[in-house]
Amino acid sequence: MSNASDLRSLAEEMAAAYTQRKQDVARVVSDAKELITDAAAQDRERTEENKKLMAEAGKARANEVADLKASADALVKDMGKQNADLKVATGALLSDYVEADEKRAEENKKFMAEAAKQDEARASEVADLKAATGALLSDYAEADKARSNEVADLKGSADSLVAEFHAEQAETKAAWQSLLGMMRNVRGGKAPKAPRKARVEAKPPVAEELAEHIEEELTPKELKKQVLKLIKKSKDKGIKLGEIADELGLESWRDVLPAAQELIEGDKVEKKDSYYFAL
C-alpha cells in the first residue's frame, strides 16, 4: 500500500506541475496578446491624433489666410494713400506666415519621424516577445518529454517491484504447503518427508566475496562503491536494484536507489528498463 500511495502521490504531483506549466504558458501567451492589442490601439490613437492635429493646423492656416486677406483688403480700401506702406507690411506679414508655416511643417515632420521610430521599437519588442514565447513553449515541450521518460522509468521500477513481490508470495506459499504436508504426515503416523528445497541460483564468486566484507551499516560512499562493483560484474546481462539489495544483504531495493541515481548522474552507469549497466 505504501508503494501504491507513493506512486499515486507522485502522479498527483506531476499532474499538478503539468497543469501549472500549462497555466504559465497560457498566461504568457495571454500577456503577449494583450501587449500586441495595446500596441495596435496606441498606434490607432496616435494616427487619429495626427489627423486631428493636421486638420486643426490646416483649418487654422485657412482662417489665418482668410483673416489676413480681409485685413489687407480693408487696409487697401480704407488707406488708399498708404497703399505702398500697406503692401510692404502685408508682404512682411506673409513672409512671417510662410516662415511659421515652414516651421510647423518641420515640426510635424520631426513628430512623424519620432512616431515612426516608436512604432519600429514597439515592433521589435513584439518580435522579441514572440521569440521568448516560442522559446518558453520549446522548453515546456522538452520538460514534458523528460517527464514522460521519468514516468516510464517509474513504471518499469513499479513493474519490477510487483514481479519480485509475486515471486516472494509464491515461495512463501510453497513453504507453507510443504509445512502443512509434513504436519499431516506426522498426524497420520507417517514419517515426514523432507521439504523440497527451493532452487537457489548460485551467487557468482564476486557476490560471495562482497558479502564477506560488507558491514552491517554501509556509508553512502561505500554503498555506492559496492553497487558500482556489482553492476560492473554483471557485464552485458545487467542487474536489477532488488538483486543488488539481496547481494548486499539489504531489506529493499529502495536502500540502493540513491546510490544508483548518483552513479547515473555521474555517467558511471546507465539504466535500461529495470536493469543497470556499467558504462
**Tens digits of per-residue pLDDT, 160-169?**
777 777 777 7
Give the Cα separation of 278 and 236 in Å (integer): 9
Q: How far apart are CA 115 and CA 42, in angstroms?
A: 11
The DSSP code for 203 is P
Supply the pLDDT for residue 201.
44
The three cell numbers of residue 73 are 483688403
Among 7-21, 54-68, 72-86, 94-108, the minimum mean pLDDT is found in 72-86
Q: Kindly report, residue by residue over 195-244, the tens digit of the pLDDT.
A: 444 344 444 444 444 444 444 456 889 999 999 999 999 989 999 999 99
- pLDDT-derived band at 245, boundaries 50, 70, 90: very high
Rounded to an integer, what distance in angstroms lies between the CA atom of residue 34 and that of residue 22? Answer: 18
Contact 178, 196 (CB under 8 A): yes
pLDDT score of 140: 61
Mean pLDDT, residues 90-115 taken together: 87
> Could you give the dihedral angle defined by the CA atoms of residues 236, 210, 207 and 161, in that order, rounded to the nearest 10 degrees?
-80
The pLDDT score that the predictor gives to residue 208 is 44
Residue 12 has pLDDT above 60, yes or no: yes
Q: What is the pLDDT of residue 240?
A: 95
Provide the pLDDT for residue 145: 74
Give dist(CA 193, CA 183) in Å, integer.
10
- CB-based contacts of 174, cutoff 8 Å, min separation 6: 198
CATH code reported for the domain at 205-278:
1.10.10.10
Give the pLDDT confidence score for residue 160 in this predicted structure: 75
pLDDT for res 182: 65
CA 22 – CA 17 distance, rounded (Å): 9
